[in-house]
Amino acid sequence: MKIKKAVVPVAGLGTRFLPATKAIPKEMLTIVDRPTIQYIVEEVVASGIKEVVLVTASGKSAIENHFDYSFELETFLAQKGKLDLLREVKHISRLIDVVSVRQKEPLGLGHAVMVTENVIGEEPFVVVLGDDLVDAEVPCVYQMLRVFEKYQEAVVAVQRVPMEETHRYGIVEGEELEDGVFKVSRLIEKPAPGTTKSNLAIIGRYVLRPEIYDCLHRTLPGVGGEIQLTDALDMLRKERALYAYEFEGRRFDAGDKFGYLQATVNFALEHPELGARFRKFLKEVAKGL
Ligand code: UTP
């Protein structure tokens, strides 16, 4: 079955990025020349998905507006003959069909996925976190869809992290079935040091089956009183199956100040107009370190 919908949760409070995120959603913070959320949506579109379900909250309307048609702006740019900018603005408003669902309280990622149940229905779908960037030659979501096509069960994206950082992630253990594809046998949320030998950490990309909703309904609030997607995934693993996929590409947590800086440098170096100048600048800075 072809996957047509992507859920992008953007309802979190972004407390790690305060004060920048007091009035601006973290997903709208700019990385070089585009807001973080545009990179996410472009990855989804490049993976063949046009329908995006945004899980939003109050104060997040800038995200919906960014992908909407702006009559005033387009008319203004056309009248002034600023055709390159007009093309860019039109491109954004035509990228996706957006449906917004409100998460009335930030009760966790699991809860954010749960509120999309009526919009998604009985189809498999992908979840892409609104602040998790992956720079890859083949879009990460596309790589994951290929794994789903083969196994027809839920897939989580994983990356290897240093052992001393495993306590910050959801960690999976499992048997490697083929290059980079694991059948998950255990899922541990933020493991205490020494409690796992695995360093395969879950990042913000998931391909899910509709059965996840039933698991979410039965998931009790976990760490921080939030409904954790990881807990529901563990249930799904026990009742059906769960696969983990070590994707090819570089991942940045743009909801974290340091991750955001890394993403900015990475995408600035790759930028077609700014990259060469920025590289030269970085070399000059490095000389003084
Ligand atoms: P994060 O944990 O990174 O988001 O969730 P947060 O809660 O905004 O971050 P901090 O810790 O306060 O800085 C990952 C993604 O899930 C969304 C967030 O918007 C983010 O894109 N999310 C999280 C929701 O939509 N609802 C929630 O209840 C929690």
**CA of 27, closest atom in ligand 1:** 21
Spatial neighbors of 174 by CB under 8 A, at least 6 apart, are: 182, 183, 184, 185, 186, 200, 244
User: 223 pLDDT exceeds 80?
Assistant: no
Q: Mutation test of ligand 1: which of 17, 21, 56, 109 has the most ligand atoms closer than 8 Å to its C-beta?
A: 109
- Report the nearest-CA residue for atom 23 of ligand 1: 12
- Look at residues 274, 279, 280 and name the one whose alpha carbon lies nearest to residue 32: 274
The whole-model pTM stands at 0.94
User: Residue 171: which pLDDT band, with cuts at 50, 70 and 90?
Assistant: very high
Distance (angstroms) between ligand 1 centre and the Cα of 15 equals 9
CA 59 to ligand 1 center in whole angstroms? 14
Q: Give the C-alpha separation, 213 to 194, whole Å.
A: 32
107 CB less than 6 Å from ligand 1? yes
Is residue 211 very low, low, confident or very high in pLDDT (cuts 50, 70, 90)?
very high
The per-residue pLDDT for range 176-195, each reduced to its tens digit, is: 999 999 999 999 988 998 89
Q: Find the 45 Cα to ligand 1 centroid distance in Å.
A: 22
Question: How far, in Å, from the CA of 288 to the mean position of ligand 1?
Answer: 37
Q: What domains sit in the chain, N to C, each tagged with a CATH number?
A: 5-287 (3.90.550.10)
Sequence letter at residue 217: H
Average pLDDT, the chain: 95
For the record, the structure tokens of 105 come out as 């309280």
**Which ligand 1 atom sits closest to the C-alpha of 108?**
28
Peptide bond into 139 cis (omega under 30): no
Q: What percent of the chain has pLDDT over 90?
A: 91
Nearest to 126 by CA among 26, 241, 247, 207: 207
pLDDT digits (tens, 9 = 90+) for 121-131: 999 999 999 99
Atom of ligand 1 nearest to the CA of 111: 28
Higher-confidence residue: 97 or 154? Answer: 154
**Cβ-count burial 144-159 (b if 16+ within 10 Å, e if not):** bbebbeebebbbbbbb
